[in-house]
A and B are shown apart, each in its own frame.
Chain A
Amino acid sequence: GESVGLHLPTLSVQEGDNSIINCAYSNSASDYFIWYKQESGKGPQFIIDIRSNMDKRQGQRVTVLLNKTVKHLSLQIAATQPGDSAVYFCAEIPRGSTLGRLYFGRGTQLTVWP
């Protein structure tokens, strides 16, 4: 069943600051962890993923960190912009899954204010 959860449901940051969105997971037998962004009234969009044998992965303005010791995943957004305001979901794919089904957490609402 679903094992991905989030520390905080909401996060407010000032434009230009860095944002850190956290996610705790209980299922250590997962191959991939993924972050999705969902803007209001739209479907989620893939941001970045990280394989379970990695600790860090960087994308454009985003960095995902995986701490397997404490089962913690985070998404860092550099120089947060108003367009980053959205709900962010972490998700996971169980190890060995050939079905590609995703297990989603509840989400964190990120609000960026000027």
Chain B
Amino acid sequence: DGGITQSPKYLFRKEGQNVTLSCEQNLNHDAMYWYRQDPGQGLRLIYYSQIVNDFQKGDIAEGYSVSREKKESFPLTVTSAQKNPTAFYLCASGRTPLNTEAFFGQGTRLTVV
């Protein structure tokens, strides 16, 4: 089955540590996105990528980094510079140039302990 897979589902991080969230898709989509969701809030865009080896900052990129070495993969690293990393992280993919129907993964819930 085609889809988008995020792992792990739950992640605990100690303060000062970097952690990497995995996102893989087999939908052959060019575009991939990372969103952050806080309780009672909408989704805010962290980073997005339209093509391999290229990505752009979204609205809240500070403290995060990404890479896009393969079309299928778009990992997100939450660095120690991110002051409030506890949140629900969602990865999505979609066709370009128009992408009204983004396909989301099941999300990773990150908690700082």
Contact = CB atoms under 8 A, between A and B. Distances in A.
- Among A1, A93, A99, which residue has the most Cβ atoms of chain B within 10 A? A99
Interface residues of B, number: 30
Interface in A1-29: 1-2, 4, 9
Contact of A46 (B31, B35, B48, B102): B102
B42 A2 contact: yes
A105 B95 CA distance: 22
Nearest to A34: B100
B86 interface: no
A98 interface: yes
A106 B43 CA distance: 8
Interface in B72-95: 90, 92, 94-95
B104 A100 contact: no
B90 A99 contact: no
Contact of B97 (A42, A98, A102): A98
A8 to B, nearest CB: 13
Interface string B42-77: 111100101000001011000000000000000000
A61 interface: no
Given A42-B107, A43-B90, A100-B94, A107 B50 contact: no
Contact of B59 (A2, A41, A45, A49): A2
A44 B96 contact: no
Contacts of B7: none
Interface of A: 1-2, 4, 9, 32, 34, 41-46, 49, 89, 93, 98-102, 104-107
